[in-house]
Amino acid sequence: MNNLDLIVVGGGITGAGILREAVRNGFRTLLIEQKDFAWGTSSRSSKLVHGGLRYLKEGHFGLTRESVKERERLIREAPGLVEPLEFRLPVYERRKPGRWTMGLGLALYDLISWKWNHRYMPRNEFLQNVPQVDPRGLVGGFSFSDAQVDDARLVMRLIKDAEMNGGKALNYTRVNKLLRNSSGKIEGVVTEDVETGEIKPFHAPCVINATGVWAENLHPSPEKNKHIRPLRGSHLIFPWELIPITTTVSFFNAQDGRALFAIPWEGSVLVGTTDIDHGNSLTDEPRITQGEAEYLINSLNHTFPGLKLSLNQAVSSFAGVRPVVSEGNVSADKESRDHVIWKDKGLVTVTGGKLTTFRVLAYDTLKACLDMLPHCNLDAISEPVFESRRSITLSHTVSETVLRSLWGRYGKETLTLLNESDEQDLETIPGTRTLWAEIKYAAKYEKIRHLDDLLLRRVRIGLLLSKGGKDYVGRIRSLCENVLPWDNERWELELKTYFMLWDSCYSPDAFQNFSR
Ligand SMILES: Cc1cc2nc3c(=O)[nH]c(=O)nc-3n(C[C@H](O)[C@H](O)[C@H](O)COP(=O)(O)OP(=O)(O)OC[C@H]3O[C@@H](n4cnc5c(N)ncnc54)[C@H](O)[C@@H]3O)c2cc1C
């Protein structure tokens, strides 16, 4: 990998978006990720592609406008991966925010999006839509829409698109040091393969630090009063049968008034999120705390009292840490979700922001690099986010719904995925929307180093199935045996490590398993 124009450090959505846009604009680019692609915050979001209705309350109109523009574009240009999502928002008498405040907020949201899509529903109609909500004091509710994405798959799709067009991406490779010449100008990075320990330098005139919440480890903030404030958000996942909602339900916590969501996702229901100072070391994988789990359960039972939900009915949990750039002195949920760019002699740091606005972050960052790059045109800015679906000849028949979602996740690689699959592997894994065939494809073609890469990020069955998918280990192993170079001993080790990780970071009561 010689003659690089650009090195991107960090394989989350920010780094992946930059890699893909840099390659499209003709720059020779290498991305370096210390763990697995999307291992950081970008596999742990609420999976919404949204304007952020609540940001309006804080007066962040610019961010909302930018986000809804991106939402509309992604819905149009990434079908099957980014899909519209319907929301319902109940209104209760003598509870804040009331009908008029909510109506005003939603009208503003629609005006900013240039898309009138909210509507007030009287009580009976609302209850027909969401019969699970508490009917006591309910006066009606609103419907509106945003969109949903599989966050880790979006990262992979961007990385693979970039690689197909000449970009390069390494996982499990950490940047340990920046290389600078005698006048401090960036010349490259020194990396370490975190498993073999191999040390290797890579040279380029420009390095982008897209390491999210870790950004200040590589380059401290140049602004005395502006620093990264790591804010943790946790989610619980429930089987859909226990919360049988057909649209997302937004509701408010009775004590602090924060907005929460119960979101149908991949055949389950995702409930979140919290927003609190992380406090723990950023080296450890984050996990839900007992306080957060109780907060989510109590909020759910307040909204859906008839369901009588308890933590032991949840399938899994996960936690992520937001890279929020803070000037201090405000509560967590009032912090701006905008991104910042810091430039220092060939090193460009980008952090903050949202998954939704990854393209905006990518272009703002590349613009900041132009004086160090071989040409200054960013021509591809108006190109569609992803190539649209072509008609393909398949050796198996699959439904339009399956084909749409496969194309969204894998693009033109869908052809390889389907043509290399046995007929029986085109069934979905019970309780999910994932095909067995996706496991084999990901294991063969998507740079899997460990079992958690496969089950938690390439496919999401580690989050969607009870006990992290323990009941299906036999079939998973037989699908992968001919495509992963693991002997019996390695399989035993991978399984043991994966289930230990799952117990301590992804089980619904991960906090208990950690403290034992
Ligand atoms: C609970 C929660 C819910 C959210 N929900 C939404 C949502 O619904 N919609 C939305 O738009 N946004 C959402 N967000 C925000 C969004 O997830 C983040 O803004 C985004 O994922 C940040 O991406 P990133 O690439 O900057 O960081 P990350 O995804 O964390 O990527 C940074 C990467 O850098 C790597 N790295 C660090 N140091 C090094 C090094 N020295 N060498 C090599 N690699 C390194 C890390 O391993 C990591 O993978 C949410 C965030 C949280 C926490």
Residues 322 and 348 in one domain: no
User: Atom 25, ligand 1: which residue's CA is nearest?
Assistant: 12
pLDDT digits (tens, 9 = 90+) for 458-510: 999 999 999 999 999 999 999 999 999 999 999 999 999 999 999 999 999 99
Q: Which two tokens stand for residue 355?
A: 């998954």
Residues 359 and 493 in one domain: no
In a domain, 61, yes or no: no
Report which protein residue has its CA nearest ligand 1's atom 32.
Answer: 211
Q: Is 361 in the pocket of ligand 1 (CB under 6 A)?
A: no
420 and 510 share one domain: yes
170 and 217 housed in the same domain: yes
Relative to the CA of 37, which ligand 1 atom is closest? 49
Q: Is there a domain that residue 470 lies in?
A: yes
Q: Do 207 and 247 lie in a common domain?
A: no
Residues 263 and 311 both lie in one domain: yes
First to last CA, the chain: 46
Higher pLDDT among residues 193 and 377, named by residue: 193
Using the predicted structure, report yes or no on whether residue 406 has a pLDDT greater than 50: yes
Residues 298 and 359 in one domain: no
Compute the distance between CA of residue 159 and CA of residue 447 in angstroms, rounded to an integer: 11
Whether 417 and 374 map to the same domain: the answer is no
233 lines ligand 1 (CB under 6 A): yes
Same domain, 349 and 363: yes
CATH number, domain containing residue 191: 3.50.50.60
Residue 480 counted as domain residue? yes
Q: How far is the CA of 209 from the centre of ligand 1 (A)?
A: 13
Q: Is the CB of 10 under 6 A from ligand 1?
A: yes
* Same domain (yes/no): 413, 496: yes
Q: Under the phi-then-psi rule, with left for phi > 0, alpha for psi from -120 to 50, and beta for the rest, what region is 128?
A: alpha
pLDDT band at 515 (very low <50, low <70, confident <90, very high): very low
Q: In this structure, is residue 426 part of a structural domain?
A: yes
Task: Report the nearest atom of ligand 1 relative to the CA of 357.
Answer: 11
Please identify, among 280, 305, 326, the residue that sits at the C-terminal boundary of a domain: 326
- Distance (angstroms) between ligand 1 centre and the Cα of 109 equals 25
DSSP assignment letter at 482: T
Distance 35 CA to ligand 1 centre (A): 13
| C-alpha 367 – ligand 1 centre gap (Å) | 21
In a domain, residue 106? The reply is no
% residues pLDDT > 90 (the chain):
83
Question: φ, ψ for residue 202 (rounded to 5)?
Answer: -130, 140
The 10s digit of each residue's pLDDT in 343-372 is: 999 999 999 999 999 999 999 999 999 999
Task: Answer whether 331's CB lies under 8 Å from 346's CB.
Answer: no
Q: How many CB atoms lie within 10 A of CB 363?
A: 17
Domain count for the chain, please give it. Answer: 3
Contact 271, 280 (CB under 8 A): no
**Does residue 323 contact residue 310 with C-beta atoms inside 8 Å?**
no
Tell me the CA–centroid distance for residue 445 and ligand 1, in Å: 23
Tell me how far apart the alpha carbons of residues 492 and 12 are, in angstroms, rounded to a whole number.
Answer: 29
Of 57-61, 70-74, 246-250, 489-493, the range with the lowest mean pLDDT is: 57-61
Please work out whether the CB of residue 469 comes within 6 Å of at least one atom of ligand 1.
no
Range of the domain at 438: 400-515
pLDDT at 39: 98
Ligand 1 center to 387 CA (angstroms): 25
- The CATH number of the domain holding residue 299 is 3.30.9.10
431 occurs within a structural domain: yes
Structure token pair of residue 110: 């629609």
Position 226 pLDDT exceeds 90: no
